[in-house]
Structure 1
Amino acid sequence: MQLNAQHRASPCSSAKRNAVSANILVARSSCPVAAPFGGARPVVAMPPCRAHQFARRDGRRALAAVASGAAPAQLQPGSVSVVLLAGGVGKRMGASIPKQYLELRGQPIATYSLETFAHMPEVGEVVIVCDPSWRDIFEKRFAGLPSRLKFKWALPGPERQDSVFNGLQEVAPSAAIVAVHDSARPLVTPQDAARCMADGYSIGAAVLGVQVKPTIKEVDKELMVIKTLQRAKLWEVQTPQCIRPELLRAGFEMVKSQGLEVTDDVSIIEAMGMPVKITAGSYTNIKVTTPDDMAVAEKFLEEVPAAKQPVVAAA
């Protein structure tokens, strides 16, 4: 999870400013330009400021169609491509299999959100990013899902951003929005997801989030308090993160050209200087990463409608 304090990092900043904003981006000056996204075509390096200018220009072009009325004012049915990230290892869970494949009330965690998105009219395809050895977990659910949907596969990368990039390559050219979701968040609701998709389409980029409840303090390396952050401005970021595909592609070009590492998908858009909206979500949309999270998710599932209960898979 990431705390978003509405901070926007500039790729033209000095190394010192990059270090301060490390929660948004971390410069990887020691990495070759084309190191991320293995298998991608080589990228010619350009000065950081120039790369930022090109990415910002391309991002503005990506939004121009909506602003001018050339594109539909609202999302059309089947126009959203979901990139479902299911390639994580889940070391903190301490289980013998990745956390997203553990069973929650008799159903693999990763398949809850698959079914949620599959029944949303906005969604036309789901790109599942996972190791091929786990594909059968999802394939067993396909028979019970709407036949209009397309399912695609992509390989996970060494880092989250690499997995997102790989998934993006499989997204249909006609997609209006890419919704990137962590499969370890089984309790996302279709209502929250639909609002985030709509915000992403109209703004360019949006992410589900909730206001931080605890008091957050900034400390130094000796754990001495520097200051208390303004809680009203702090939001905990969730998924899905919904971005217009043209904008995300332009952002990845900038990320590759500078060898940047980003902590989440909308951080790429922030780095371009483009707007990102927080769509108010639900505190139940937790990421299951520890045994305690499993217990909490079990409790939440006891209180949700029958639509969230396990669907019997085809034999």
Structure 2
Amino acid sequence: MLNNPRSIIAIVPAAGVGSRMGADIPKQYLMLGQQCILAHTLDSLLSHAEIDQVVVALHPQDNYFSQLPQSHHSKLTTVVGGGERADSVLAALDFVESINPEAWALVHDAARPCVTHQDITKLIESVNLHPQGAILAAPVRDTMKRSDTNGNIIHTVDRALLWHALTPQIFPVSVLRHHLSAALAAQVPITDEASAMEWAGVMPGLVNGRMDNIKVTHPDDLQLAALFMSQQ
């Protein structure tokens, strides 16, 4: 638990259609076992004892979310998201700050259904060591190559101290909202919440997370996610 307990509010950006992976519906609504990807993701967040509320940023024309059983959960709220992931996170942060500016935002990808309670707890507890905020990440294990624009190897990159950024990522709501808003106004490319904080001069902490916390981006990932979830 945090030394000074505050509300933990999970934010799930699910507004963009993203890659449909050859399907007719947004990828977060593709089936993974008995329910869709997003439903699994929400189950992990809604059932965690230290998460007080879950805010999902949806596309204004989303016709699928209301059909999920999780959409009626007492801990869940929705907001209208934006065109890009960062815009959706900012919309959710605007809402959260209006009701609880002292909260912590735990931002998690809609298409990462394999996140475990153990990793979520580890990230939340890391705030004691990293009061500026932190992210789940995994050390790079493979040999890394840098290429030119023609697909030829230029050189091998030293993998020491390199990490794969994962989610969730946790930051104080008001601080993250301020830096994310400023970065978007400056047209800075924002790939995750940590990149907005880094741009503002903040050095988020790294929390070693499980490698099976994959993001579903390719049809093959569905089978891999199903395997990981069955083993968990």
Q: Same fold (TM over 0.5)?
A: yes
- Distance in 1, matches of 2:21 and 2:185, equals 35
Does the 8 Å CA contact 1:84/1:181 hold for their aligned counterparts?
A: yes
- Tell me: CA distance 1:95–1:215, structure 2 relative to 1, closer, same or farther (3 Å): same
If you compute each CA radius of gyration, which structure gives the higher value, 1 or 2? 1
Residue 224 of structure 1, CA deviation = 4.0
- Distance in 1, matches of 2:178 and 2:202, equals 11
Does the 8 Å CA contact 2:136/2:166 hold for their aligned counterparts?
A: yes
Secondary structure of 1:158's partner?
coil
Does the 8 Å CA contact 2:133/2:204 hold for their aligned counterparts?
A: yes
User: Structure 1: which 5+ residue stretches go unaligned?
Assistant: 1-71, 305-315
Say yes or no: does 1:189 pair with 2:119.
no
Match of 1:116 in 2: 44
Q: Match for 2:228: what amino acid?
A: F
Q: What's the C-alpha RMSD, in Å, of the aligned pairs? A: 2.0
Identity %: 33
Identify the match of residue 92 of structure 2 among 160, 163, 167. 167
Say yes or no: does 1:75 pair with 2:10.
no
Secondary structure of 1:236's partner?
strand
Structure of greater relative contact order (alpha carbons < 8 Å, 6+ residues apart): 1
Match of 2:25 in 1: 97
- Distance in 2, matches of 1:198 and 1:174, equals 20
- Distance in 2, matches of 1:295 and 1:277, equals 31
Identify the match of residue 129 of structure 1 among 51, 57, 70. 57
- Tell me: CA distance 1:137–1:75, structure 2 relative to 1, closer, same or farther (3 Å): farther
Residue 303 of structure 1, CA deviation = 1.2
Residue 200 of structure 1, CA deviation = 4.0
Say yes or no: does 1:271 pair with 2:199.
yes
Match of 1:153 in 2: 78
Q: Match for 1:236: what amino acid?
A: H
Residue 237 of structure 1, CA deviation = 0.8
Secondary structure of 1:296's partner?
helix
Does the 8 Å CA contact 1:75/1:198 hold for their aligned counterparts?
A: no
Say yes or no: does 1:221 pair with 2:149.
yes
- Distance in 2, matches of 1:152 and 1:133, equals 16
- Tell me: CA distance 1:254–1:142, structure 2 relative to 1, closer, same or farther (3 Å): closer
- Distance in 2, matches of 1:86 and 1:142, equals 13
Q: Match for 2:95: what amino acid?
A: E
- Tell me: CA distance 1:74–1:284, structure 2 relative to 1, closer, same or farther (3 Å): farther
Secondary structure of 2:160's partner?
helix
Q: Deviations over 1:111-140 (max 9, x none)?
A: 1121111122211111011134233134x2
Say yes or no: does 1:281 pair with 2:209.
yes
User: Structure 2: which 5+ residue stretches go unaligned?
Assistant: none
- Tell me: CA distance 1:260–1:174, structure 2 relative to 1, closer, same or farther (3 Å): closer
Residue 165 of structure 1, CA deviation = 0.5
Secondary structure of 1:262's partner?
coil
Does the 8 Å CA contact 2:107/2:168 hold for their aligned counterparts?
A: yes
Q: Match for 2:82: what amino acid?
A: G
Match of 1:234 in 2: 162
Q: TM-score, normalised by structure 1?
A: 0.67
Q: Deviations over 1:169-218 (max 9, x none)?
A: 12132543101111110010011012112224643221111112221112
Does the 8 Å CA contact 1:154/1:167 hold for their aligned counterparts?
A: yes
Does the 8 Å CA contact 1:195/1:279 hold for their aligned counterparts?
A: yes
What is the count of residue pairs matched by the alignment?
226
Q: TM-score, normalised by structure 2?
A: 0.89
Q: Match for 2:199: what amino acid?
A: A
Match of 2:140 in 1: 212
Secondary structure of 2:228's partner?
helix
Does the 8 Å CA contact 1:209/1:235 hold for their aligned counterparts?
A: yes
